[in-house]
Amino acid sequence: MSLERPDPVLERARSHAQSYLGGLATRHLGVKVGRDELLTNLHTPFAEHGDDPTSIIDLLASQAEVGMTACSSPRYFGFVIGGTYPVALAADWLVSTWDQNAGIHAISPFSAVVEEIAAEWILELFDLPRESSVGFVTGCQMANFTCLAAARHSVLRRRGWDVELDGLAGAPRVNIVIGAGAHVTIEVAMRYLGFGTRSLLRVESDEQGRMRADSLRELMATLDGPTIICAQAGNVNSGSFDPLREIAEIAHESDAWLHVDSAFGLWARASTSLATHADGIELADSWATDAHKWLNVPYDSGLAIVKHPADHRAAMTSAASYLIQTQGTERDSLDWVPEFSRRARAIPVYATLRALGRKGVENLVDRNCARARQMVAELSKEAGVEILNDVVLNQALVRFGDDDDLTRAVVSGVQAEGTCWLSGTSWNGAAAMRVSVSNWATSEDDISRSAAAILAVYRGLQGS
Ligand SMILES: Cc1ncc(COP(=O)(O)O)c(C=O)c1O
pLDDT tens per residue across span 385-430: 999 999 999 999 999 999 999 999 999 999 999 999 999 999 999 9
Any atom of ligand 1 within 6 Å of the Cβ of 371: no
Kindly state the helix (H) or strand (E) to which residue 366 belongs, with its residue range. helix 346-379
Any atom of ligand 1 within 6 Å of the Cβ of 138: no
Any atom of ligand 1 within 6 Å of the Cβ of 302: yes
Q: Residue whose CA is closest, atom 14 of ligand 1?
A: 80
pLDDT tens per residue across span 295-318: 999 999 999 999 999 999 999 998
Q: Residue whose CA is closest, atom 5 of ligand 1?
A: 140
Average of per-residue pLDDT across 62-80: 96
Q: How far apart are CA 370 and CA 391, in angstroms?
A: 10
Torsion of CA 34, 37, 39, 44, to 10 degrees: -170
pLDDT tens per residue across span 158-204: 999 999 999 999 999 999 999 999 999 999 999 999 999 999 999 99
What is the pLDDT of the chain when averaged over all its residues? 96
Any atom of ligand 1 within 6 Å of the Cβ of 261: yes
Answer for the pair 58, 15: CB distance below 8 angstroms, yes or no: no
Any atom of ligand 1 within 6 Å of the Cβ of 185: yes
**pTM of the predicted structure, to 2 decimals:** 0.97
Residue 327 in this model has a pLDDT that exceeds 70: no
In DSSP notation, 25-89 reads: TTS--S----HHHHHHHH--PPPSSPPPHHHHHHHHHHHHHHHS--TTSTTB-STT-----HHHH
451 DSSP 8-state letter: H
* Class of the CATH domain delimited by 91-352: alpha beta
Ligand 1 center to residue 124 CA distance, Å? 22
Torsion of CA 375, 381, 383, 384, to 10 degrees: 30
Query: Which atom in ligand 1 lies closest to the alpha carbon of residue 290?
Result: 10
Answer for the pair 378, 447: CB distance below 8 angstroms, yes or no: yes
Average of per-residue pLDDT across 331-345: 95
Ligand 1 center to residue 12 CA distance, Å? 34
Residue 345 in this model has a pLDDT that exceeds 90: yes
Query: Would residue 280 be called left, alpha or beta, if left means φ above 0 and alpha means ψ between -120 and 50 degrees?
Result: left
Q: Residue whose CA is closest, atom 2 of ligand 1?
A: 263
The domain segmentation of the chain, as residue ranges, is 91-352
- Predicted pLDDT at 135: 98
Q: Give the 3-state secondary structure of residue 100.
A: coil
Ligand 1 center to residue 212 CA distance, Å? 21
Ligand 1 center to residue 80 CA distance, Å? 8
Ligand 1 center to residue 49 CA distance, Å? 41
Q: Give the 3-state secondary structure of residue 240.
A: coil
Q: How far apart are CA 338 and CA 135, in angstroms?
A: 9
Phi then psi dihedrals of residue 222, to 5 deg: -95, -5
User: Beta strand pairing status for 227-232 and 175-179?
Assistant: parallel
Residue 319 in this model has a pLDDT that exceeds 80: no
Q: How far apart are CA 55 and CA 8, in angstroms?
A: 11
Answer for the pair 435, 399: CB distance below 8 angstroms, yes or no: no
- Using pLDDT thresholds of 50, 70 and 90, give the confidence band for residue 2: low
Q: How far apart are CA 340 and CA 99, in angstroms?
A: 15
Any atom of ligand 1 within 6 Å of the Cβ of 190: no
Q: Give the E-state strand segments of 145-278 in sequence order.
A: 175-179, 201-203, 227-232, 257-261
Any atom of ligand 1 within 6 Å of the Cβ of 141: yes
Ligand 1 center to residue 296 CA distance, Å? 14
Any atom of ligand 1 within 6 Å of the Cβ of 239: no
Average of per-residue pLDDT across 42-55: 96
Any atom of ligand 1 within 6 Å of the Cβ of 234: yes
Q: How far apart are CA 457 and CA 247, in angstroms?
A: 43
Ligand 1 center to residue 263 CA distance, Å? 5
Ligand 1 center to residue 117 CA distance, Å? 25
Ligand 1 center to residue 437 CA distance, Å? 15
Q: How far apart are CA 452 and CA 62, in angstroms?
A: 30
Q: Give the residue among 372, 424, 441 at the shortest CA–CA distance from 82.
A: 441
Residue 34 in this model has a pLDDT that exceeds 90: yes
Task: Quote the Cα angle for 3-9-13, to 5°.
Answer: 150
pLDDT tens per residue across span 191-240: 999 999 999 999 999 999 999 999 999 999 999 999 999 999 999 999 99
Residue 322 in this model has a pLDDT that exceeds 80: no
Residue 464 in this model has a pLDDT that exceeds 90: no
Query: Which atom in ligand 1 lies closest to the alpha carbon of residue 235?
Result: 1
Average of per-residue pLDDT across 267-273: 98
Q: Give the residue among 385, 366, 397, 81 at the shortest CA–CA distance from 208.
A: 397
- Predicted pLDDT at 324: 75
Q: How far apart are CA 141 and CA 147, in angstroms?
A: 10
Ligand 1 center to residue 421 CA distance, Å? 19
Average of per-residue pLDDT across 330-356: 96
